[in-house]
C-alpha cells in the first residue's frame, strides 16, 4: 500500500516538474505547482482505487495513469486560477526623481 502511494507522489513530482518547465509562471514559485501536482496525483490515485474497487497496489500501471491525469488536471486548474489573479500588464520601469 505504501509503495503505491509513493508511486502516486513520484508521478505527481514528475508531472509538476514538467508542467512548471512548460508553463510561464510569471513570478510564481515552481514548488507551488509541483506541490499542487503531487496533491492532485494523490487524489487521482484515490479516485481510481474507489472507482475500480482495487486496493492500492504497488506500481499498478492504471493507477499511475490516473495519478498522472489527476496531476495534470490539478496543474491546469492551478495555473488558470493563478493567471486570473496575476496582473497581465507590462512591468513599469522605476525612474529616479
Give the total number of structural domains in the chain.
1
Q: Is residue 18 part of a domain?
A: yes
Helix (H, G, I), strand (E, B) or coil at 92: coil
User: Is 87 domain-assigned?
Assistant: no
In a domain, 89, yes or no: no
This prediction has a pTM of 0.79
Asked whether residue 86 is domain-assigned, the answer is: no
How much is the average pLDDT of 13-41? 85
pLDDT tens-digit series, residues 33-46: 889 999 999 999 99
Cα 19 to Cα 34: distance, rounded to the nearest angstrom: 8
| pLDDT range class, residue 81, cuts 50, 70, 90 | confident
Would you state the pLDDT for residue 79? 82
Grid coordinates representing 8 are 502516486
Is the backbone of residue 92 left (phi > 0), alpha (psi -120 to 50) or beta? Answer: beta
pLDDT in tens, 55-71: 888 778 898 999 999 99
Under the banding of pLDDT at 50, 70 and 90, the label for residue 23 is confident
- Residue 59 located in a structural domain: yes
Whether residue 92 is contained in a domain is answered as no
Q: Is 8:41 a contact under the CB 8 Å cutoff?
A: yes
In a domain, 37, yes or no: yes
Count of all residues that appear for the chain in the document: 97
| Enclosing domain of residue 26 | 2-80
Average pLDDT, the chain: 84
Amino acid at each position: 500500500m505504501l509503495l503505491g502511494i509513493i508511486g502516486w507522489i513520484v508521478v505527481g513530482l514528475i508531472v509538476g516538474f514538467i508542467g512548471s518547465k512548460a508553463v510561464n509562471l510569471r513570478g510564481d514559485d515552481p514548488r507551488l505547482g509541483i506541490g499542487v501536482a503531487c496533491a492532485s496525483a494523490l487524489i487521482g490515485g484515490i479516485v481510481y482505487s474507489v472507482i475500480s474497487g482495487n486496493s492500492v497496489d504497488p506500481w499498478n500501471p492504471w493507477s499511475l495513469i490516473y495519478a498522472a491525469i489527476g496531476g495534470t488536471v490539478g496543474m491546469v486548474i492551478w495555473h488558470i486560477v493563478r493567471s486570473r489573479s496575476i496582473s497581465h500588464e507590462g512591468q513599469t520601469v522605476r525612474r529616479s526623481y
